[in-house]
Structure 1
């Protein structure tokens, strides 16, 4: 393996760096996404608010670091204007969900180009060998071309191995965004229909 990397030329160095960065982001995102499922808690929170148990809902929404719960917690904490509070929280949480993805996207685009650059440099070297009189030794030329193609193969390999996780992460981000919008809207409706304390006080006086 080390010999193949050496034959690929200096361009293999940035390709190896790209592969390591890509692997780090993929592992970190998988670990992060594994921890953020909080749909059960969200159902309980909406149910508690609907019953008027706002303090209990606030406590429950604060027990987990999931983006969905943080958005709901923002709405409950700023009960006078929950819509704006949840919108601001959602923007911040979606940014966290997308963390590392622009870098992964750059690696997907950059890796094949680096591989192509390595191949072009290798081809130039092969033609220089031809120019100095090795045209009668075709194995020298074909060997140089084969070594040049190593960089292209490495670049494509890095891009493909990054592309599949990248698309998966994008899908998960879209799904989590939809879930956040769904529960935020439900909480907004529940908070909007929940009787205010003044209304409850008037009702209690009426039936006293």
Structure 2
């Protein structure tokens, strides 16, 4: 078995994890920043007088966003519901559906945080095995080459830990952003539910 090839493969996998982590961090960072701005803007605009989406400022409805989708769904349906309980159940279902979209792709970052140190440790072990095999064949003719081989092997562990530390920082940061966004979504859900629900028409009794 070619240990050198496996050692290089472990490095390639870690580089791929680093590139994927950077993509998720940038994409989620932009998403959370935009969603937070839209949510706070809608909170300021959502007064008790707003009963239709067209009554909101055009700047907040020009581009699609997660908070706007939640408000739009509730405002569009609330006038067709007959009881406060129906409105409450519907708004809760919309909130749960939209809340799940915030968590998208974070499992990738969580997996990289766990896998990167293990890949680094695997690369170190494979590198040390490859170095010892070379020593067994040629002997210790140059101690500098041995130190270089061990250093290269340990670099894999350092790289894996570095990827995990950066990924963990942004994962925890995004978890805090998710809690704040969910709080904003709850506020928007409650404000969108404010208003008159169409009362259920009562049947008239005809006396013969």
- TM-score, structure 2 normalization: 0.77
Aligned partners of 1:76 and 1:82 also within 8 Å: no
Equivalent position of 2:175 in the other structure: 170
Q: Compute the TM-score of the two structures, normalised by the length of structure 1.
A: 0.77
SS in structure 2 opposite 1:11? Answer: helix
Choose between structure 1 and 2: higher helix proportion: 1
**Structure-2 residue corresponding to 1:34:** 33
Q: Structure 1: which 5+ runs fail to align? A: 1-5, 200-208
* Cα displacement (A) at 1:58: 5.4
Q: Whole-Å Cα distance in 2 between the matches of residues 72 and 45 of structure 1? A: 9
- Cross-structure match for 1:203: none
What is the DSSP-based 3-state SS (H/G/I as helix, E as strand, rest coil) of the residue aligned with 1:110? helix
The equivalent residue for 1:145 is 150
Root-mean-square deviation (CA), in Å?
A: 2.6
Aligned positions, number = 185
Alignment CA distance shift 1:125-1:195 (3 Å): closer
* Structure 2 stretches lacking a partner, 5+ long: 202-208
Structure 2 contact 46–191 (Cα < 8 Å) conserved: no
Report deviation, 1:98. Answer: 1.4
Superposed CA offset, 1:106-139 (max 9, x none) = 1111111111000000111122233335246433
- The answer as to 2:48 corresponding to 1:43 is no
For 2:93, which of 67, 88, 111 is the aligned residue? 88
Equivalent residue number for residue 65 of structure 2: 66
Q: Which whole-Å CA distance do the structure 2 matches of 1:144 and 1:41 have between them?
A: 58
